[in-house]
Amino acid sequence: MTKRSFNVAVVGATGTVGNEMISVLEQRKFPVKEIKLLASERSAGESLEFDGKDVSVEVLNENSFKGVEIGLFSAGGSISEKFAPIAAREGCVVIDNTSAFRMDPQVPLVVPEVNPHAIGQYTKKNIIANPNCSTIQMVVVLKPIHDAVRIKRVVVSTYQSVSGTGKEAIRELEQQTRAIFTQQEIEVNVYPHQIAFNCLPHIDVFLENGYTKEEMKMVNETRKIMEDDSIQISATTVRVPVFFGHSESVNIETEKKVTPQEVRDLLAEAPGVVVEDDPSLLKYPLAIYAAGRDETFVGRIREDPSIETGIDMWIVSDNIRKGAALNAVQIAEILIDQFL
């Protein structure tokens, strides 16, 4: 019997996440029959390599999805809002990496290690949402702890790399760093302030309540993925001058008491998680080592003495891989295995 394969489109193929989606499809040998690389006018004429062959990038339009079975979207929220429903109507299952549909009750929001069963809900709109990068790496660690001792409250601060914003942001950090060392003018275009040698407590737009949209994504998406609206969450999301990999300081309050060693033991068994926690050897997760890896790394696991049942930890993952491209392809793998 010949193995089934699928027509796959990558929307936003020339972007940071789009490029990584192409690599992850290759690396994991996703059964691709034909690949379609879609992008805006700006990328017209470019070509990218897939499985050793040059594939030209096509300009996205209403007719792009004829015969396409799976669409991986990462070209921004407004592109998804317009084109995901068009693709879905053509019978293409959309896995959308933007925030456009994440909180839509008709759209499952999936991290395969946490709520793979939700993928079955894709039939309502033919759309599955890929969560925010900072949310994904946090919930793969929180889920096993929640199942064991129930998490009541989470206080998280993030240290997010510039790659999440895209190629112009990577260039901006590079340019500013060089400029400062060589006493040239710095260019400030992508972020509202200098990012080199700085920390910006501001990701995505500010909302009425004083939080940013990125912070509220962490609150709302975590509850949806963990299927528990009772979890209280407060987030502060910060941009730092790091190219790849997001780090997070996470404080949790649990219903039942749990020791740091019990948390380590729980997480040692958790899918997609690596415990890196040995202060005596100066071992703890670092963004520079998480970059390019598939796993989420956790360390600095310790008891919070300020409350009865609290744990602190440090969680790091590659925001472009597990935080975006890899998570989307893992969803596609389960989709074709169990639902298509």
Cβ nearer to ligand L14, comparing 164 with 245: 164
Cβ nearer to ligand L14, comparing 100 with 258: 100
Q: Is 242 helix (H, G, I), strand (E, B) or coil?
A: coil
Catalytic positions are 133, 246
From 138-146, 157-165, 177-185, 305-313, span contacting ligand L14 (CB under 6 A): 157-165
Q: Which of 133, 151, 267, 311 binds ligand L14 (CB under 6 A)?
A: 133
274 Ramachandran zone, left/alpha/beta (phi>0; psi -120 to 50): beta
Q: Give me 119's structure tokens.
A: 């993928």
- Binding residues for ligand L14, how many (CB under 6 A)? 10
Question: Integer distance in angstroms from the first to the last C-alpha of the chain?
Answer: 17
Pairing of strands 127-129, 93-96: parallel
Degrees, nearest 5: CA angle 251-165-139? 30
**What are residue 316's DSSP bridge partners?**
247, 297
Cβ nearer to ligand L14, comparing 64 with 158: 158
Q: Which of 64, 126, 132, 212 binds ligand L14 (CB under 6 A)?
A: 132
Contacts of 193 (CB under 8 A, 6+ apart): 200
- Per the CB < 8 A criterion, the answer to whether 34 and 6 are in contact is no
Q: Is 57 helix (H, G, I), strand (E, B) or coil?
A: strand
> For residue 335, which of 119, 126, 131 has the smallest C-alpha distance?
119
Shortest distance, position 249 Cβ to ligand L14, whole Å: 18
Site residues (CB under 6 A) for ligand L14, limited to 7-66: none
164 touching ligand L14, by CB under 6 A: yes
Give the residue at shortest CB distance from ligand L14: 164
Cβ nearer to ligand L14, comparing 81 with 147: 81
From 54-62, 112-120, 158-166, 192-200, span contacting ligand L14 (CB under 6 A): 158-166
From 33-41, 106-114, 159-167, 290-298, span contacting ligand L14 (CB under 6 A): 159-167
> 245-262 in b/e burial notation, b at 16+ Cβ within 10 A?
bbbbbbbbbbeeebebee
Contacts of 206 (CB under 8 A, 6+ apart): 212, 213
Q: Give me 127's structure tokens.
A: 């759309």
Cβ nearer to ligand L14, comparing 99 with 247: 99
Shortest distance, position 75 Cβ to ligand L14, whole Å: 12
Shortest distance, position 305 Cβ to ligand L14, whole Å: 33
Rounded distance between C-alpha atoms, residue 55 and residue 50, angstroms: 7
Cβ nearer to ligand L14, comparing 132 with 254: 132
Lay out the site mask for ligand L14 across 64-103 (x = CB under 6 A, - = otherwise). Answer: -----------------------------------x----
C-alpha 230, offset from chain centre? 23
Shortest distance, position 221 Cβ to ligand L14, whole Å: 9
Cβ nearer to ligand L14, comparing 79 with 311: 79
Shortest distance, position 161 Cβ to ligand L14, whole Å: 8
Site residues (CB under 6 A) for ligand L14, limited to 198-227: 203-204, 214, 217
Rounded distance between C-alpha atoms, residue 290 and residue 319, angstroms: 9
Shortest distance, position 204 Cβ to ligand L14, whole Å: 5
Amino acid at 160: Q
Q: Which of 165, 247, 317, 327 binds ligand L14 (CB under 6 A)?
A: 165
Residues that bind ligand L14 (CB under 6 A): 99, 132-133, 160, 164-165, 203-204, 214, 217
